[in-house]
Amino acid sequence: MTSTQIASAQEESQAVNTVRSGGGVMLGASSIAIIGASPDDNKLGGKLVRFLQRYGYRGRVYPVNQKYREVQGHPCFPSLTAIKDPVDMAVVAVPYREVLQAIWDCLQKGVKQAVVFSSGFAETGPEGAERERALKDLIRGTGMRLVGPNALGVANVADGLIANFSQSFELPDGVIKPGPVGFASQSGAFGTFIFSLAAEQGIGFKYFASTGNEIDVTITDCLAGMVADADVRMVAGYIEALRDGRRFLAVAEQARQNGKPLMLIKTGRTPGGSAAALSHTAAIAGDDEVYDAAFRQTGVIRVTDEEAMLDLLNVMRWKRSMAGRRVAVVTNSGGAGVLIADALATHGLQLAQLRPETGNALKQVVPAFGSARNPVDMTGQFLRLGDPGIEMLRRALQCLLDDPETDAVLLYLGLARRRGAKIADALRDLARTATKPLVAAWTAGPPQEIERLRNEGVPVLSSPTRSVRALAALASFTESRSRKPRSFALPRPGRGQRLKAPPGGYSEARAKAVLREWGVPVPNERLCASEEEAAAFAAQAGYPVALKVSSPGLMHKTEAGAVALAIRDKSELIAAYRSIVQRAAAHIPGLPVEGVLVTPMAEDGIELIVGGRRDPVFGPVVMVGSGGIYTEVMRDATIRVLPLLDGEAAEMLRELRIHPVLAGNRSNPPADIDSAARCIEAVARLLASHPEVEDVEINPLRVFPEGRGAWALDAVLRVSAQASKDTTEK
Amino acid sequence: MTSTQIASAQEESQAVNTVRSGGGVMLGASSIAIIGASPDDNKLGGKLVRFLQRYGYRGRVYPVNQKYREVQGHPCFPSLTAIKDPVDMAVVAVPYREVLQAIWDCLQKGVKQAVVFSSGFAETGPEGAERERALKDLIRGTGMRLVGPNALGVANVADGLIANFSQSFELPDGVIKPGPVGFASQSGAFGTFIFSLAAEQGIGFKYFASTGNEIDVTITDCLAGMVADADVRMVAGYIEALRDGRRFLAVAEQARQNGKPLMLIKTGRTPGGSAAALSHTAAIAGDDEVYDAAFRQTGVIRVTDEEAMLDLLNVMRWKRSMAGRRVAVVTNSGGAGVLIADALATHGLQLAQLRPETGNALKQVVPAFGSARNPVDMTGQFLRLGDPGIEMLRRALQCLLDDPETDAVLLYLGLARRRGAKIADALRDLARTATKPLVAAWTAGPPQEIERLRNEGVPVLSSPTRSVRALAALASFTESRSRKPRSFALPRPGRGQRLKAPPGGYSEARAKAVLREWGVPVPNERLCASEEEAAAFAAQAGYPVALKVSSPGLMHKTEAGAVALAIRDKSELIAAYRSIVQRAAAHIPGLPVEGVLVTPMAEDGIELIVGGRRDPVFGPVVMVGSGGIYTEVMRDATIRVLPLLDGEAAEMLRELRIHPVLAGNRSNPPADIDSAARCIEAVARLLASHPEVEDVEINPLRVFPEGRGAWALDAVLRVSAQASKDTTEK
């Protein structure tokens, strides 16, 4: 096993262990010390003591502050060592200058969990960064787990263990309700914003963690604990940048296998930067696109913003699966029905085709000037008919819920304020027996009825289009659950030897030689040192041929005039050979030339790009897309974090917009898709097995008609001097 | 002038006249009769009388109903003819069986404007459709303008003229405020929904029109009146399907020239249906895509849903221009700043690059652990510092508003409930002098402060991402205003003669012959009747050549095996000639063959598709996109409603994703973009001048390197037996 492989296997097993341990990391404690406790409620150390009381924490609370004898009814200790009993968790709420001493005290006392509220570390500049490094060194190897510094901290609402100073816990309308949601954020203020909004809509939480500077405990650690906790049924979060991408994959995969939706806002779509200039792969499979791929592969729901998050939490509270994509829509406005039908199409959902029986039943309750077809337009009449009108609505919804051709029912109410309580009663009754999601879009309904419904079984959202978006996310999540369990452990390297870049790096010819070894089909071509050798090879391989100057320093051969195509005979070959060597030399004076690559002209085919690179967060990734001159303008590409499953390369090809052309249509025969898939797999194996490979790019891979294979017509390979570890250190 | 041309010119001048007449159509009346008036407030005819009173209508009100002597304080007339004075407008609120009689009475009385509330017409089925036709026949040629039937009707809030029974006018919280917005809807219920929500947010309206079945007055008529009204500063609407697309273009262009944003929700993105199978053009330039093009050409803001509409109305209320796309962002949360930066990029806006002076000024008021760079992170500290904190916020916003490098300022507040009134005061003061848009995203701010701000100059939206979307729409609208005024009148036909389709329609050869006349470059090719003729032409034109069977019945030549490429000599030609003729005959037995088209093989180039068709709503449109095998999968295309302006064809090419490839890059030389543009212009002229042309499609147009032109390698032309009028009848 290489060191990378061992590291990766350790990470994987560590992730799984954390998951199995029931959320041990920072999510529970039977006693807590507050270093910097205060009787002053406006200070962090004072606030914390109050939160613990308010939320009914049953463990022991030890205020620590040499200035006081008592803090909010608890005896106060002058120092941590003055506490006789063991301490499970320490919260550090002292000025930054005193933090190192406080953590040192914790280590002496044998405290295994610390939460550092204090700011004044890397977020403030170089001096703070120095202090942060010292703190990291202090705890290294001690077994202590530390949240922060500069963190809001962690809270276990069920246990009343609020080691978190978010203003959410001061919400005026009573305490945060305990419930089945875990929430973790890399932003304190934005996390507080989302958490508070959700709590105000009656969503109950078990955990809220905000991880600050993450010198030890990362957001992935927190998510892992939540995913493993049997009380937690959905996990939400806000991410700016993961530090431990491969571990995250294991945690997300665990969430998927446990049937727990993992809903994440991920911001910071920064472009690839300088890497973009180097390769198409880096330009197309940029950092953010790799997050997208990792999320899709593990069924993570990528959420746009706080509104989409609240919508999803409201829906997922009640139903966490949707058997298909067929939606029945009921409205009191034909216009809203058309708008919703458009939104369904935009989000990849369908208007359910109702059974004839359902249509007949609807005709009994839908006015003649409405529509008994999906989207069902009840018109506003049911609102004017009193109780019989409400009964009409109830019956319409019931028969749509009963129809086996529907997977969810969306009710648009818009204003509908009159008889709001009666409508709410009817919906609540329907929800009690419904086995499918029933969502109401009730923009301006009576607030108290909406609150009641949200707490009694029917998600009420304020916008019809956002309701559709939430249902689409639910459908995708449900689909992701049907996939087989997978592991993200990287495979054993096939060959023990490291690749070593030749001086100046890999030329096209050398890159192709490596790729051929891994199973990538390349033309029957030869690197020739002279005109005579080139002519002899061309005569043997057969005209027409192409000539290309081969040099590791020559990335853009066409631009340099270093390519000649469709050479038909020896005299053309001799002339072209001289010409391209001269032009290359003129383009980059002093260019070391390995020789000239002589290649038989390839027959027509579909051009793809197949590439891969080592992502700083998620490790090796592979990419396939439309190639040739369309590569960057079309951005028709799909990405996978490695390793690939069996059949996943073919699945990637099916995701391309160009796939119908590959599959064959009126203007062209089917292409050799199997060959293309094998080429993706070869590149994936190379990247997964050789951590020193930085990136690979075949562009174009020309794919010939079915049964006739494919050729890598050009290739780039970059190898780093030092092998990547494929994961960030812990 | 052809009849089409005359019709088009008339429409154009009619549109402009309506616009100039100050909104005469259905938007004002000095006296109003209510046919079917009632003392019962629950009946439409009763409600209307109350609305007129409640909204302070100053004209004369004539209830008409033979059952009553008095209705709600007004003397009631047994019939319209019993009224002595002239009547400007009649509202018809009687059962559908009595509608024809009521309109007949109106005509006798000389009433020029009627609003028919009654339903029971085309919306109910064939019998109702018959009744609707009779109603249409009744008013034809009389000069009466009629809204409906089955319409909510029209309302002029400023005059208190509420000839509209929308429940919006019964909102419990007082009357709809008069104001600068005109609103028109093709859906009564959905229109009421949006109108009511907007009114509840304090938006003031001058007009609300809902047009029902549109047998006479269309939504375009209503929009035209609003655009022409000097009191109206923005116009909003909900559209399902326009009946008079070319007139709409004139009205929308007028709105743009008047600087009035026209904000429309357009639903019903139905696919092109059967037409899609016939041509790529119909598949790509479908009905909805043509709406998009028409909207973009006239600066109409296409709005997704009611939320986006409310956001825009809130922003546009205060500022209807934004000089550029550079946005300064202020938050109390770094996370929100990153989220907003992502949203700016997604919506084509930029983070403003602040001047150094601004950065220095910000450092005075932004805490060290925040960020004085854009997006500015004030942190939550200013909320904790009392008045000095609010002053910090005010100063930060002021210096961003003052920086010439910013075009708008977006403030994210999230929760921020403490000191809400102080924050609101500061924002109001800033807004009083601000010359740029200042938008606050304050999701959970104190409702009374939000209401106050909305009414005093600062748009407050509830979501940061939606705030960005609204600013992007404002920026696009402002950009559209900088374009020169244009007319959508179609040009004079260049040639008087109608094109007549040959029996069986146009073969490729005949289509190319027509296109060549209009200036489309085609290869030097010949339709040959025999192998010998083909061989003789090939010898003269030069090998290699391509052979294609030419027949009007043969749409998919490759599929039929009716094409042979790269024929190198006479013997190959003879063999290929026989083979393709045989295969075509086998593919479609009995196919009439005109001959075989012999074409010199074209050199390499970039393939485009250039097409055009006659859209049922907007008339002739032209399209250009990536062509060849990528046409439908990439859907990289852009569309224009005709006529084109000078330079607009080149602009279309610049909008394509493939444009960087056309412009030349490392792997290929610049293409002959001028030739491609001239080809688009030729197709546009052909379509605009020949109303009988149904569609044209050149695919591929192979564009050679700069200076070497382009060739239409294949072409389809369809001509209808009857010339379209390019507009729907009135």
What's the Cα-to-Cα distance from B696 to each of B492, B644, B719, rounded to whole Å? Answer: 19, 16, 9
**Alpha-carbon span B147 to B211, nearest angstrom:** 6
- What average pLDDT does range A600-605 have in this prediction? 91
Name the domain boundary from B600, B630, B664: B600
Name the domain boundary from A481, A513, A539: A481
CATH of the domain at B380: 3.40.50.261
Instruction: Tell me what pLDDT residue B271 has.
Output: 57
Q: Looking at the structure, do residues A148 and A128 belong to the same domain, yes or no?
A: yes
Q: Looking at the structure, do residues A44 and A149 belong to the same domain, yes or no?
A: yes
- What average pLDDT does range A706-723 have in this prediction? 90
pLDDT band at A8 (very low <50, low <70, confident <90, very high): very low
Q: Out of B185, B342, B634, whose CB is closest to A657? A: B634
Q: Out of B189, B336, B633, whose CB is closest to A335? A: B189
Q: Which amino acid is at B210?
A: S
3-state secondary structure B563-604: EEEEECCHHHHHHHHHHHHHHHHHHCCCCCCCEEEEEECCCC
pLDDT (tens digit, 9 = 90+) per residue, B67-95?
999 999 999 999 999 999 999 999 999 99
Please say whether the beta carbons of A151 and A116 come within 8 A. yes
Q: Looking at the structure, do residues A16 and A153 belong to the same domain, yes or no?
A: yes
Question: How much is the CA Rg of chain B, to the nearest whole Å?
Answer: 31
- What average pLDDT does range A129-153 have in this prediction? 96
Please say whether the beta carbons of A144 and A198 come within 8 A. no
CATH of the domain at A536: 3.30.1490.20
Q: Looking at the structure, do residues A694 and A561 belong to the same domain, yes or no?
A: no
A19 within some domain: yes
Among B284, B303, B629, B699, pick the best mutation site for testing chain A contact (most A Cβ within 10 A): B629
Instruction: Quote the minimal CA–CA distance from B194 to chain A in Å.
Output: 9
- What average pLDDT does range A518-525 have in this prediction? 95
Q: Residue B116's CB: how many other CB atoms inside 10 A?
A: 28
Give backbone dihedrals phi and psi of B162, rounded to 5 degrees, phi first.
-100, 90
Q: Which amino acid is at B45?
A: G
Q: Out of B185, B559, B634, whose CB is closest to A634? A: B634
Quickly count helices (H) and strands (E) in chain A.
25, 30
Query: What are B156's strand-pairing partners?
Result: B161, B207
A554 within some domain: yes
Q: Looking at the structure, do residues A561 and A647 belong to the same domain, yes or no?
A: no
Give backbone dihedrals phi and psi of A221, rounded to 5 degrees, phi first.
-60, -45
**Alpha-carbon span B697 to B556, nearest angstrom:** 13
The answer to whether residue A389 scores a pLDDT higher than 80 is yes
HSE-up of residue A518 (Cα within 13 Å, Cβ side): 26
H helical segments located in A624-706: 631-634, 648-655, 659-663, 673-689
Range with lowest mean pLDDT among A303-307, A472-476, A689-693, B159-163? A689-693
Q: Looking at the structure, do residues A58 and A138 belong to the same domain, yes or no?
A: yes
Burial (0-12, 13-18, 19+ Cβ within 10 Å), A625: buried
The answer to whether residue A16 scores a pLDDT higher than 50 is no
Q: Out of A189, A197, A666, whose CB is closest to B333? A: A189
B646 within some domain: yes
Give the mean pLDDT of chain B.
Answer: 90
Distant-in-sequence, close-in-space partners of B411: CB < 8 Å, separation ≥ 6: B329, B330, B331, B397, B427, B438, B439, B440, B441, B442
Q: Which amino acid is at A500?
A: K
CB contacts, 8 Å: B466 with chain A = 307
CATH of the domain at A619: 3.30.470.20
Instruction: Quote the minimal CA–CA distance from B376 to chain A in Å.
Output: 14
Q: Which two tokens stand for residue A146?
A: 């530390």
B130 within some domain: yes
CATH of the domain at B194: 3.40.50.720
3-state secondary structure of A552: coil
Identify the closest residue of chain B to A565 by CA–CA distance.
B604
A542 within some domain: yes
CB contacts, 8 Å: B190 with chain A = 333-336, 339, 414
pLDDT band at A725 (very low <50, low <70, confident <90, very high): low
Q: What is the ipTM of this complex?
A: 0.91
Identify the closest residue of chain A to B201 by CA–CA distance.
A444
The answer to whether residue B261 scores a pLDDT higher than 80 is yes
The answer to whether residue A105 scores a pLDDT higher than 70 is yes
Q: Do A196 and B339 touch (CB under 8 A)?
A: no
Question: By C-alpha distance, which of A188, A195, A177 is closest to A219?
Answer: A188
A547 within some domain: yes
pLDDT above 70 coverage of chain B, percent: 93
Q: Looking at the structure, do residues B462 and B556 belong to the same domain, yes or no?
A: no
Q: Looking at the structure, do residues B583 and B610 belong to the same domain, yes or no?
A: no
Q: Looking at the structure, do residues A476 and A566 belong to the same domain, yes or no?
A: no
Q: In what order do the strands lie in the sheet with A113-116?
A: A60-64, A31-35, A89-92, A113-116, A145-147
**Alpha-carbon span A187 to A212, nearest angstrom:** 7
Q: Do B558 and A667 touch (CB under 8 A)?
A: yes
Q: Looking at the structure, do residues A242 and A144 belong to the same domain, yes or no?
A: yes
Q: Which two tokens stand for residue A497?
A: 């030897």
Q: What is the DSSP letter of A213?
A: T
Name the domain boundary from B579, B600, B621: B600
A430 within some domain: yes
pLDDT above 90 coverage of chain A, percent: 77
Q: Residue B702's CB: how many other CB atoms inside 10 A?
A: 24
**Alpha-carbon span A196 to B458, nearest angstrom:** 25
**Alpha-carbon span A261 to A237, nearest angstrom:** 11
pLDDT band at A207 (very low <50, low <70, confident <90, very high): very high
Instruction: Tell me what pLDDT residue A556 has.
Output: 78
Please say whether the beta carbons of A333 and A416 come within 8 A. no
**Alpha-carbon span A106 to A225, nearest angstrom:** 23
Q: How far is CA A657 from the centre of its chain?
A: 22
Instruction: Tell me what pLDDT residue A359 has.
Output: 95
**Alpha-carbon span A231 to A256, nearest angstrom:** 16
Classify each residue of A99-114 as buried b or exposed e, where b means 16 or more C-beta atoms within 10 Å of its C-beta: beebbebbbebebbbb
Torsion of CA A13, A19, A23, A25, to 10 degrees: 30
- What average pLDDT does range B355-366 have in this prediction? 95
Largest Cα–Cα distance of chain A, in whole Å?
100
Q: In what order do the strands lie in the sheet with B60-64?
A: B60-64, B31-35, B89-92, B113-116, B145-147
Identify the closest residue of chain B to A606 by CA–CA distance.
B629
Instruction: Quote the minimal CA–CA distance from B694 to chain A in Å.
Output: 23
- What average pLDDT does range A511-528 have in this prediction? 95
Instruction: Tell me what pLDDT residue A503 has.
Output: 80
pLDDT band at A2 (very low <50, low <70, confident <90, very high): very low
Q: Out of A192, A342, A636, whose CB is closest to B269? A: A342
More confident call, B254 vs A593: B254
pLDDT (tens digit, 9 = 90+) per residue, A311-367?
999 999 999 999 999 999 999 998 999 999 999 999 999 999 999 999 999 999 998
More confident call, B573 vs B556: B573
Q: Are strands A693-703 and A606-615 parallel, antiparallel or unpaired?
A: antiparallel
Instruction: Quote the minimal CA–CA distance from B627 to chain A in Å.
Output: 12
More confident call, A269 vs A200: A200
**Alpha-carbon span A328 to A437, nearest angstrom:** 11
Instruction: Tell me what pLDDT residue A727 has.
Output: 41
The answer to whether residue A274 scores a pLDDT higher than 70 is no
Count: domains in chain B: 4
What's the Cα-to-Cα distance from A512 to each of A678, A698, B18, B103, B619, rounded to whole Å? Answer: 16, 9, 71, 83, 55
pLDDT (tens digit, 9 = 90+) per residue, A155-186?
999 999 999 999 899 877 667 999 999 999 99
Q: What is the DSSP letter of B81?
A: G
Q: Do A336 and B193 touch (CB under 8 A)?
A: yes
Give backbone dihedrals phi and psi of B620, rounded to 5 degrees, phi first.
-70, 135
Instruction: Tell me what pLDDT residue A4 has.
Output: 42
Instruction: Quote the minimal CA–CA distance from B629 to chain A in Å.
Output: 7
A293 within some domain: no
pLDDT above 90 coverage of chain B, percent: 77
More confident call, A491 vs B445: B445
Q: Looking at the structure, do residues B100 and B116 belong to the same domain, yes or no?
A: yes
Instruction: Tell me what pLDDT residue B370 has.
Output: 87
Identify the closest residue of chain A to B191 by CA–CA distance.
A335
Q: Which two tokens stand for residue A302?
A: 């990528």
The boundaries of the domain holding residue B578 are 524-600
**Alpha-carbon span A474 to A492, nearest angstrom:** 36
The answer to whether residue A13 scores a pLDDT higher than 70 is no
Query: What are B701's strand-pairing partners?
Result: B608, B712
Instruction: Quote the minimal CA–CA distance from A225 to chain B in Å.
Output: 23
- What average pLDDT does range A109-118 have in this prediction? 96
Q: Looking at the structure, do residues B84 and B137 belong to the same domain, yes or no?
A: yes
**Alpha-carbon span A671 to A676, nearest angstrom:** 9
Q: Which residue has the tokens 């390349």?
A: A522
Q: Which residue has the tokens 């009134």?
A: B421
